[in-house]
Structures are given as structure tokens and as C-alpha cells.
Amino acid sequence: MSEIADKVKKIVVEHLGVEESKVTPEASFIDDLGADSLDTVELVMAFEEAFNVEIPEDAAEKIATVKDAIDYIEKQKAA
Amino acid sequence: MGMVGPLGLGVENVWSRLIAGESGIGRITHFDPSDLPAQVAGQVPEGPKTEGKLTLSEWVPVKDQRKMDRFIHMGLVAATEAVEDSGWKPQTEEDKCATGVMIGSGIGGLQTIYDASITVHEGRAKRLSPFFIPSALINLVSGHVSIKYGFQGPNHSVVTACATGVHAIGDAARLIMFGDADVMVAGGAEATVCPLGIAGFCSARALSTGFNDTPGKASRPWDKDRDGFVMGEGAGVVVLEEYEHAKARGAKIYAEIVGYGMSGDAYHITAPAEGHYGAYRAMGAALKSAGLTPADIDYVNAHGTSTMADDLELEAVERLFADDAKKLAMSSTKSATGHLLGAAGAVEAMFCMLAIRDNVAPPTLNLDNPSRESVIDRVAHTAQQRKINVALSNSFGFGGTNASLLVRGI
């Protein structure tokens, strides 16, 4: 697992108070990890802060799963 | 009933420590108070539940804690204890809709607002937590309690500074009388032992500053050496229920709310007027609503904050009770707990109910030399065993708001 994926996972565990084993790439923040709409706003902010990236609102809306977040951040970092 | 405060967690634990004459006041540990003139407060002791102390994770899931200010934590802890104690866990839609919540706060999420202000000041407004607003809003204690238990009746909140707790219980009782609900979870919560809270009341010259090295002596209602109130944090919540409704389900009943009175001073933003006629009228209104006379009252839990206003309240009580004053017991439990602001009235109303249950008047600590003599027994230093059937609780707040609650044994 990449460094980014590792860090994303850690942030999700910390913010949503879920077990690490549940944070699979396919896991949906809302459907599988118990987040509500405000939790997802906060998560995106935490990603922005941790990776020093800007995630505009329209992009943030498309981030529904752990993998979505990892892919988006990896793409930003590669650019 | 549910309670958390400077004397600890849990109604019975707090009550027994209060009766034993213990003080919950100590040096401020929530932050370094060295820069401030007032350095003592009543803070909730941390530790395991089994020791009558608070470990927040035993009450509020860790992931939810940062979504709410500490005053909401306090309210949730007290409400949880109260609901468990009441045994009222409505399952049907009808019962849930007949159960409401009215928990207030004097100030609300002060520390949360302070932290958020710094984020904005640092030019990081876009990093402000989406939970900032719901964390700071006063009515969110009622909101969280309703969500936790599914109570879908009236969801309301009171904000009347230091009179909040009494207003919340009194107003909630009236909602039941008016048929808006069968059951109301009511009370107050506060957590302002933070730099902004202490500094703000220091600026208003309201806090005790002369007992920083002897915290247990700082809160001394009616004593001639008193020099301001001592801030406390915590929450008090009761479950109020329509009498027949409670009886029908065999509920544990502590006492009956028999009277409630309110008034406004229309005088000054922070000080009561000479003679404290506002207090006099609030107490009179409570008696009138109960159809009782001063002769019926056995115990008064005074507002008694350890400020100059203590003697004005005393004067108002003497005037109202006249010849009946000499058989009255009146104490200020703020001498042990400090002043829990918006939670004070709720916690003290519960002390009245427990005083009735156990026929004990809790003491006024540190009342060594009264600044004003009185025929009223102010229960100095040690609790007194005496027959108590009806008790009155007073709470007065900034803005000149006064509220009195009358409770009677069943």
C-alpha cells in the first residue's frame, strides 16, 4: 500500500472512529463507515490539510469511497 | 435525576459529599490561570465512573466528542443518568412524541467559539470545522438528547444566564400542565471554566480573587470576607412527568413541582436593586402558583453566589417570610459547588428534592462571620437533620431575571 493510502486510512480511522479493518478501498464513507454529510466535509478538510492539496467542492462531492480519496490525492500529487 | 459537577459524577455521590461538607473547588487545571486574578474554580473531577468521577468516553463516543462543546458533554452525561434513573424508555411512536427535552445553558460553547475565532483570525476560515456551529449552539444539548433517545416531543431550550436551570424546569413543568408533553427531560448545562469565561467574569469584577491559595474557602456566601463568586462547571437534568402518568407506570418519584414564579428587575444589567424586590416577587409568584404561604416552606436553597448580592436576597426572603423566617432553614450550596451558571438552578432544585427525601438541609460552607445577622438559620458549616416537606429554590441572572421553584415531597 502506498504512503498516501496509508495516511488516508489513518485519517479515516481517526475521524470516523471505525476499526482499521473496515477501511477497505471499496468502503463508502456514508454507506459503510457511518459518516454523515458533515463528517465527509470534515474528512475532505483533513485530507487537504494532511496532504497540502486543494480539493474543490465539485471534486469533493465525487469522493465517496476510500479509493476515491486515495486516487484523487495521488493524481494531485503526481501533477 | 442526573448530575455532574465539581463534587463529581452521579446524584447520590454528589449529594453525600455535599452533606458531608466537602468542597469541589480547587485551582484551575483546565488551563494555566496564572495571568488572571481569579485562579480557582469548580471543575468536574476526572476518573472512573466507579469512583464518582468523569471519564467522558464512558458517556460520549470518542468520535462524537469533538463535534460538541464541553457544555454539551456535561448535558449528555447528566441527561443519560437522569433518563436511566427514571426508567422511561418509550418504545411506541406515541410515547416518543409525548416526551420532550428542555435543557438550557447560560453561555453555551464559549471555548469552541474561542478556538474557531483563532482559526478564522489565522486566515484559515476555510478550515473551520463543519461541526463548529452545532457544537456551540445552546439548544444542541436538547437536540443531542432527543437524538440519543428518540424523544420527539417539544424540543426547546432556555437561555437566562444564571436563572436558566430553574426556568428550564419550571417552563418544562408548564408544558406538561398545558398538555404539550407527558414527560419532559429538563435542566441546564455549563462549561465555561476556560480563559474567555474566567477573564470575562473577572473583567466584570464578579469572581473571587482573594482565595487563590485556599480554594476551598473562596466560595463563602453571606460571610463578611466574601469577594465574588467561584465559577463551576457541570450539568443537572431531571425527568419531569405528569403525575398520573408516572404513577401508572410505577415510576420512582422524588418530589412534585408545586410552584414556579418569575420576575424581572428592570433595573441593571448585572446588579440587583436595593431590597431585591425582583427576588421577592419571584418567590411570591411561586407561592401563589402553588397556593402555599411562607409558613409552609421548610427550606430555601438560596441563589447566594458569594457576592454582595447575597444580603439583598436575604433581605427579600426575610421580608417575604416575616414571622415565619425564624423557623426557616436557608443555605447556599454554591459554597461547595461554586456557581454552575446555567446549570446551577437545575442542580440546586435537585438538592431541594433530596433535602425533602432525606430531611436534611445541606450546609453553607465558610460562613464564619455573617456580614448581616438574620433570624434565618443559614446552616453554617454542617448539614442539619430537620423535617423538610416543601423547599424553594432561587436563581437570579444577569439582565435582572429571577426565577423561583417550589418542590414538595410526595
- Return the CATH number at A46: 1.10.1200.10
Contacts of B62 in chain A (CB under 8 A): 17
Q: Give A12 to chain B, closest Cα distance, Å.
A: 11
Reported as a single tens digit per residue, the pLDDT across B76-110 is 999 999 999 999 999 999 999 999 999 999 999 99
B162 is catalytic: yes
Instruction: Give the range of the structural domain holding residue A51, as residue numbers without chain letter.
Output: 1-76
CB pair distance less than 8 Å for A38 and B63 = no
What is the DSSP secondary structure assignment for residue B257, as one 8-state letter? E
Share of chain B above pLDDT 90, in %: 100
What sign has the CA pseudo-torsion B369, B6, B205, B320?
negative
Q: Residue B221 and residue A58: Cα distance in Å, rounded?
A: 60
CB pair distance less than 8 Å for A17 and B127 = no
Q: What's the pTM?
A: 0.96
CB pair distance less than 8 Å for B127 and A49 = yes
**Secondary structure class of B208 (helix, strand, coil):** coil
Is some CB atom of chain A closer than 8 A to the CB atom of B62?
yes
CB pair distance less than 8 Å for A45 and B129 = yes
Question: In chain A, how many domains are there?
Answer: 1
Is some CB atom of chain B closer than 8 A to the CB atom of A41?
yes
Please say whether the beta carbons of B303 and B315 come within 8 A: no
Q: Give B129 to chain A, closest Cα distance, Å.
A: 6
Contacts of B134 in chain A (CB under 8 A): 38
Q: Sheet containing B256-264: which strands, arranged edge to edge?
A: B256-264, B401-408, B390-397, B299-301, B329-331
Is some CB atom of chain B closer than 8 A to the CB atom of A36?
no
The complex scores an ipTM of: 0.86
Give the residues across from B395 on adjacent strands: B403
| Among candidates A15, A16, A45 on the partner chain, residue whose Cβ is nearest the Cβ of B127 | A45
Give the residues across from B299 on adjacent strands: B329, B391
Q: What residue ranges define each of the domains in chain B, with the CATH number in brackets?
A: 2-249 (3.40.47.10), 256-408 (3.40.47.10)
Q: Residue A39 and residue B115: Cα distance in Å, rounded?
A: 19
Question: How is chain A classified by DSSP, letter by letter?
Answer: --HHHHHHHHHHHHHHT--GGG--TT-BTTTTT---HHHHHHHHHHHHHHHT----HHHHHH--BHHHHHHHHHHHHH-
Is some CB atom of chain B closer than 8 A to the CB atom of A20?
no
Determine the residue among A22, A29, A37, A39 to mutate to test chain B binding: the one whose Cβ has the most chain B Cβ atoms within 10 Å. A39
Is some CB atom of chain A closer than 8 A to the CB atom of B63?
yes
The cell numbers describing B204, all together, are 466584570
Question: How is B78-110 classified by DSSP, letter by letter?
Answer: HHHHHHHHHT----SHHHHHTEEEEEE-SS--H
Is some CB atom of chain A closer than 8 A to the CB atom of B123?
no
Strand pairing of B299-301 and B329-331?
Answer: parallel
**Residue B356 CA from chain centroid, whole number:** 18
- pLDDT tens track, chain B, 410 positions: 999 999 999 999 999 999 999 999 999 999 999 999 999 999 999 999 999 999 999 999 988 999 999 999 999 999 999 999 999 999 999 999 999 999 999 999 999 999 999 999 999 999 999 999 999 999 999 999 999 999 999 999 999 999 999 999 999 999 999 999 999 999 999 999 999 999 999 999 999 999 999 999 999 999 999 999 999 999 999 999 999 999 999 999 999 999 999 999 999 999 999 999 999 999 999 999 999 999 999 999 999 999 999 999 999 999 999 999 999 999 999 999 999 999 999 999 999 999 999 999 999 999 999 999 999 999 999 999 999 999 999 999 999 999 999 999 99
Give the residue from B252, B77, B86, B54 showing the smallest Cα distance to B148.
B77
CB pair distance less than 8 Å for B63 and A49 = no
CA-atom Rg of chain A in angstroms: 11
Is some CB atom of chain B closer than 8 A to the CB atom of A17?
yes
